[in-house]
Amino acid sequence: MADTAAAHTEAHAEPNYLAVFGWLFILTVIEVGVIFVPIPWLMIAGALVILALVKASLVAIYFMHLKFEKLVIWWIAVIPVILCVFLIFMLIPELA
Amino acid sequence: MSQAATLHREPAESPLTPESWGKLGMWIFLCGDAMTFGTLIVTFGIMRIAADNWPVPAEVLGINLTAAMTFLLICSSVTMVKALSGIKRGNMQEFRKFMLLTILGGTAFLLLQAYEWNHLIHLGVTITENKYGSPVFGDTFYIMTGFHGMHVFGGVVYLAVILVGGLTGRIHQGNSSVVEIAGLYWHFVDLVWILIFTFVYLL
């Protein structure tokens, strides 16, 4: 049993962690740079949200090995995201 | 015949290994933790939009320092995967080296955060007051970075326990899944910081 488990974890090739690190670094530099670009704040905000979500996904998929996980783990990871979107829509009326 | 068919449907690997239970447990914990952080971030966003005198974060908070802190946490995530990769191959020396680097990264992060908080309190940004505008700014800032900082502190302690386990020989190639599970927690803390850095410091 332990042998099959070990074989399973060794089955997938190790992702290129340095490449992921490079992307995270580049995206962070873009994020810090984009706030000084003279475009409307909403565009900056939109760009920042997208960049942050891409970076967070990179960490989850490669560093947290979500790429190699079973469907149940994906569901566990996605539930808080769904609830956050739900919460956003629940709170938007408060702004009016 | 029917028995053979039933056997055929059995999964090749039982889901009931201690490794996968531990991992599942950590994922469920992180799911709950993500809900807490998600609630903090979403309510922060709503309050930020609703407030009329929100300061420009880049003018109050040190973006350069916190960008360096982000870099530090990303680096410590890389050293964490290197530590796991080391112990999986049975290279305990590599495991010890990279675990130590990860713990040092987390500790440096905490020291920088302590410096930042101290600096901001002297500037007049506290949990109840804010010289630069809406008091909710200071309020949400300390709650979010503080809650995250506690996670980093907990993570440093957690990783230190794992490293000591590796030094005493209780953690080795055969049970390296505990390192993977600790890594999940550590990467999650990194992931949350990426979001907090963007939403609190840049937006």
Q: In Å, how far is A11's CA from the nearest CA of chain B? A: 12
pLDDT of B139 strictly over 80: yes
pLDDT tier at B188 (50, 70, 90 boundaries)? very high
- Each residue of B18-38: pLDDT tens digit? 667 888 999 999 999 999 999
Q: Is B62 exposed, middle or buried (0-12, 13-18, 19+ CB in 10 A)?
A: middle
Interface contact A76, partner B, CB < 8 A: yes
Residue B33: predicted pLDDT: 95
Profile chain A (96 residues) by mean pLDDT over runs of 10 residues. 45 81 93 89 91 94 88 91 94 84
Please give the Cα distance from A8 to A5 (Å, whole number): 5
SS3 assignment, position B62: coil
Q: Which helix (H) or strand (E) holds A4?
A: helix A2-11
- pLDDT mean over B86-111: 94
- Each residue of B39-96: pLDDT tens digit? 999 999 999 888 888 888 888 888 889 999 999 999 999 999 999 999 999 999 999 9
0.90 surpassed by pTM: no
Q: What letter does residue A19 receive in the DSSP assignment? A: H
Q: Which of A17, A60, A81 sits opposite B78 (nearest CB)?
A: A17
Q: Are B173 and B90 in contact (CB under 8 A)?
A: yes
Q: In Å, how far is B38's CA from the nearest CA of chain A? A: 6
Domain B19-202 has CATH 1.25.40.20: no
Q: Where are the domains of chain B?
A: 19-202
Q: Which of residues 30-49 of A touch B (CB under 8 A)?
A: 31-32, 34-35, 45, 48-49
Q: Answer whether B195 sits within 8 Å of A52, measured CB to CB.
A: yes
Q: Where are the domains of chain A?
A: 2-69
Residue B173, beta-bridge partner list = none
